[in-house]
Structure 1
Amino acid sequence: MTFKKIKLLIAALALGGTVAAAPVAHAETLTVGTTAQTYPTSYKKGDKLTGFDIAVTKAVAKEMDDKVKFKVVGDIPSLFGELDKGSIDTIANSVTVLPERQKKYNFSPVYSYYPAQIAIKKDSKYKTVKDLEGKTVSATVGSSNIDLLKKYDAKIKIKKYDDRNAIFTDANNGTVAGVLNQRQFLEETIKKQNLDLRILKGVVGWNKSAFPFAKNSQAQAKQKKFDKALRKLQKDGTLSKLSKKYYNGEDVTKKSISND
């Protein structure tokens, strides 16, 4: 380069000329809905949101090099309403994969398994789920366990509640014959609240949990990255470690008991 050309380059830079630089990648934000009411998958510890699903979501977002923002919504039907509106990207709340849901949403790979069971009073005479035929059990509105129980034994009546605490309160005081929920949630709640309940023998069905996404091009692009990150964390054992942390050593990333 001649001295004259060097002078021209310096002049150009002085006048505001720029040298082309590589584009800077900016982290996207993954907005995730959750109830913060399902111990130990999504709950508040003081003011802090925590739980297995929360930890999994954070780990996936980190693997994606994305930020994560949680939006707390009271119940599962409302969460799906937020997903339909596009105000959240997905749901972290042990969402069970169901045929009717698959018609409307795309799901990530299954990342956890939960057996649906029923807890009854400790001094109750019932020995198996079939003994509850004609009786009423409590369950949360929108719970996938309701569909599982209907398919398993339609003769058992179900009383639906908006209040997640009330399903346990009424079972504990005998207002209903039992409470229907995922076994791990039953175990943790009975222990945490020191309830006079025991889990009845027999598995109603299996909840296979995954993250739902809307069926549109924008959501599918984000899900592609999400699924890739989730599979990596499954393969390297991260999800298994998180499960054991939040479920007292139990690995819910695999079916932990036989469905008999």
Structure 2
Amino acid sequence: MKKTRILTGLVLAVSAFLLTACGSSTKEDTSVKDIQKKGTITVAMNPEFAPFEFKTLVNGKDTIVGSDVELAKAIGKELGVKVKFSSMSFNNVLASLQSGKADIAISGISATEERQKVYDFSTSYYESKNVVIVKKDKLADYTKTTSLKDKSVATQKGTIQENIAKDQLKGAKVVSLVQNGEMINELKNGQVDAVVFEKPIAQAYVDKNSDLAISEIDLKSGDSDAYAVAMPKGSKALKAKIDKVITKLKKDGTLDKQVQEAYDLSVSSAD
């Protein structure tokens, strides 16, 4: 009986050790290896955010261009893979990471606390500022956040601007739309009274539409409003690679230069 108890005790001890060892081990991070094995990195984006990503004709072909596109190409080069761009509506961009349809998402995405619970984010690559576009002949009417009380304000569905409008434009009727172009058209047609955009995007639209202007309304920006590259949760190795690329491009001024060049292109391109 004593031997049996001793053996039983040893078996239980060994079993407990193995279970503990298995429980303490973590799943291998293959985020970089998987992409390199495929030879391609798929990037989800909504090409309606000039100068970050937008469509224009290049050699007669409809092509997605912009500073975010150049950033994606730099990431692809660092990983030694080809880059494939997957165009979709903004509210589907992050969802594509969960479904496995995309490896990363670059589309003027703000790394909010809520999003960080579900996705991993790179270090920020651009500090955004949000502004309000109105009709030029209404500039004097809209000078502060309370000016838009009981007025209709368009924002893009699923964006940080949607939350900013709801939080800061007290009393405004926020209208969430899918396409940026639709928002601008509704403003020009009088269906809405204002539109909330990131400043570079707003400036591009204003430069193309002489009847529109950026108002003096001051919208506050938080730390989480900066743009970052999104990726599936647990992509530690991939994040390290992407952070390396962003740090280098920010340090040597390449990112700022690319944003300016993309802005110039967006202004010269036809709507």
Which TM-score tier does this pair reach, normalised by the shorter chain?
0.7 to 0.9
How far is 1:248 from its partner?
A: 4.4
Residues 140-179 of structure 1 aligned to structure 2 (within 5 Å)? 140-179=156-195
Counterpart residue number, 1:45? 56
The one-letter amino acid of 2:55's match is: K
Task: For structure 2, list consecutive stretches of 5 or more residues without a partner in the other structure.
Answer: 1-35, 266-271
Unaligned runs of 5+ in 1: 1-24, 250-260
Matched residue of 1:113: which SS? coil
1:54 Cα deviation from its structure 2 partner: 0.5
Inter-partner Cα distance in structure 2 for 1:224 and 1:92: 16
Q: Which residue of 2 aligns with 1:229?
A: 245
2:231 is aligned to: 213
Asked whether 1:113 is paired with 2:127, we answer yes
Take 1:84 and 1:38, find their aligned partners in 2: how far apart are those partners?
22
Residue 46 of structure 2, aligned match among 21, 26, 35? 35
Give per-residue Cα distances to partners, 1:141-194, cap 9 Å, x unaligned: 1121111222223322201112321111111122211111112111101222x2
CA contact (8 A) 1:60 1:233 kept: no
TM-score, with structure 1 as normaliser: 0.78
Aligned 1:20-169 pairs, distance under 5 A: 28-46=39-57, 47-73=62-88, 75-124=89-138, 125-169=141-185
Match of 1:197 among 208, 212, 224: 212
Q: Percent identity?
A: 28
Partners of 2:203 and 2:173 in 1: CA distance = 22
- Higher relative contact order (CA closer than 8 Å, sequence separation 6+): 2
Equivalent position of 1:16 in the other structure: none
More helix by share: 2
Q: Is the 8 A contact 2:104 2:229 kept in 1?
A: yes
SS class of match (1:205): coil
Give 3-state SS (helix, strand or coil) of 2:117's partner: helix
1:238 aligns with 2:254: yes
Q: Distance in 1 between matches of 2:156 and 2:37?
A: 40
Q: Measure the CA separation in 2 of the matches of 1:232 and 1:126.
A: 41
Distance 1:83 1:116, change over 3 A: same
Cα RMSD of the aligned pairs, angstroms, is 2.0
Distance in 2 separating the partners of 1:203 and 1:212: 28
